[in-house]
Amino acid sequence: MEHRSLGGSGVKVSLLSLGTMQFGWTADEKTSFAVLDAAYDAGINVIDTADIYSRWIEGNPGGVAESIIGKWFRKNPEKRAQIILATKVRGRMGEGPNDEGLSRKHIFSAVDHSLKRLGTDYIDLYQVHWPDEGTPIEETLRALDDLVREGRVLYIGCSNYSAWRLMESLWTSERCRLTSFVSLQPHYNLVHRAEFERELEDVCLNFGIGAIPYSPLAGGFLTGKYASNQAPPEGSRGAMSDRIQAYLKDPTSLSTLEIVKQIALEREKSPSQIALRWLISRPAVVSAIIGPRDLEQLEDNLGCLSVELTDEDMERLDEGSAR
Ligand SMILES: NC(=O)c1ccc[n+]([C@@H]2O[C@H](COP(=O)([O-])OP(=O)(O)OC[C@H]3O[C@@H](n4cnc5c(N)ncnc54)[C@H](OP(=O)(O)O)[C@@H]3O)[C@@H](O)[C@H]2O)c1
């Protein structure tokens, strides 16, 4: 497995990161452990999670994915030091007015809870999950900087930030001499390009920010397992989310998928492997965060590492998916 520096930092991350949004949702604990074991054995050294994962399930308080990872670390304490453990703060974790957001108050309480669930005394990469318009950026960065100085957090990153907000954050860190973001977790894949490529990509390339995109397979759309005239497989993301249905109605997404499938046929690879390889070949991308729900999907996703795309393949994909 190839490892790359995370933005302007010295820490090395694997080309694929293991996302865990599916843990406790579409993957039970036993399967999640098996996926964690196999990903580790394959050389993946980044585990990405968030405090809010599986809070969208009715009656679920959140923290489920973090707890599963914590149990896995307790079973495998020797693996903790090798892992870049990335989690996130911002989402609502209780009913009170300060149980969400990026205030100093919420960050300090959220980090305590995440550390307990994860069964560790430090987080490698603490990410703000999405912006909080109600909190000055200086307050958020100062709280994160204090966590870094205390050793509870090693690096900080952001997710779902626009280019101007990321620049504002970087300038604030510089002006106030606070720890800076080293990574951005954007929504980026072959059918969702413009949001990242319009301005964020250049910010990442010019300001030492490592991009670690989420939803690299557009939630499963780019695996080619969905068709407009067929009901989605039972229990799949497509059966639970409107996002896949929207792609199935969008002509550019459908024609992009056709190109992905055609190149997959030519290269004797799966469509997901082509889509992942395209993403990790993009200039600002350091690592793509995959979200396999079982060992079979993990194995398929890992297969992207042995795909070689020619300049012509890249051009077909780039031109075909451009909007
Ligand atoms: N920062 C954020 O706001 C944010 C948002 C979303 C995700 N994330 C992170 O990014 C990670 C990845 O996101 P994602 O899960 O949306 O990634 P994705 O790769 O776009 O979608 C993963 C899903 O696609 C399906 N799939 C994958 N490989 C397959 C295969 N070979 N055959 C058939 N189906 C396959 C599975 O869904 P089925 O259940 O249908 O099988 C799987 O759970 C998450 O785990 C999380 O850590 C972050």
Structure tokens at 220: 């499963």
Average pLDDT over residues 199-206: 98
Residue 129 in domain: yes
| 221/215 Cα distance (integer angstroms) | 10
Residue 301 in domain: no
Residue 159 in domain: yes
Relative orientation angle of helices 104-118 and 64-75, to the nearest 10 degrees:
40
Give 18-60 pLDDT, tens digit per residue.
Answer: 999 999 999 999 999 999 999 999 999 999 999 999 888 888 8
Residue 175 in domain: yes
Residue for token digits 């490529």?
A: 197
Q: What residues have CB less than 8 Å from 103, skipping those under 6 apart?
A: 132, 134, 135, 139, 140, 143
- What separation in Å is there between the alpha carbon of 160 and the centre of ligand 1? 16
pTM for the predicted model, two decimal places: 0.97
Select from 220, 308, 310, 307 the least CA-distant residue to 257: 220
Residue 7 in domain: yes
Give 269-300 pLDDT, tens digit per residue.
Answer: 999 999 999 999 999 999 999 999 999 999 99
Residue 74 in domain: yes
Residue type, 322: A
The tally of domains found in the chain comes to 1
Instruction: Determine if ligand 1 sits within 6 Å of the CB of residue 236.
Output: yes
Instruction: Determine if ligand 1 sits within 6 Å of the CB of residue 110.
Output: no
Instruction: Determine if ligand 1 sits within 6 Å of the CB of residue 297.
Output: yes
Strand blocks (E) in 70-207:
84-89, 123-128, 153-159, 181-185
Structure tokens at 227: 């068709």
pLDDT at 175 (0 to 100): 98
- What separation in Å is there between the alpha carbon of 297 and the centre of ligand 1? 10
Radius of gyration of the chain (CA): 19
> Whose CA is closest to atom 48 on ligand 1?
214
Domain containing 28: what range? 3-185
pLDDT above 90 coverage of the chain, percent? 93
Question: DSSP states of 210-275 as a string?
Answer: EE--B-TTGGGGGGT---TTSPPPTTSHHHH-HHHHHHHT-HHHHHHHHHHHHHHHHHT--HHHHH
Residue 81 in domain: yes
Average pLDDT over residues 231-260: 93
Q: What residues have CB less than 8 Å from 38, skipping those under 6 apart?
A: 295, 298, 299
pLDDT at 229 (0 to 100): 86
Domain holding 34: CATH number? 3.20.20.100
| Range name among 76-85, 136-145, 195-204, 239-248 with the lowest pLDDT average | 239-248
Instruction: Determine if ligand 1 sits within 6 Å of the CB of residue 213.
Output: no
Find the helix or strand (DSSP H, E) in which 299 lies: helix 295-302
Average pLDDT over residues 132-141: 98
| 237/288 Cα distance (integer angstroms) | 19
Give 172-189 pLDDT, tens digit per residue.
Answer: 999 999 999 999 999 999
- What separation in Å is there between the alpha carbon of 292 and the centre of ligand 1? 6
pLDDT at 57 (0 to 100): 85
Residue 58 in domain: yes
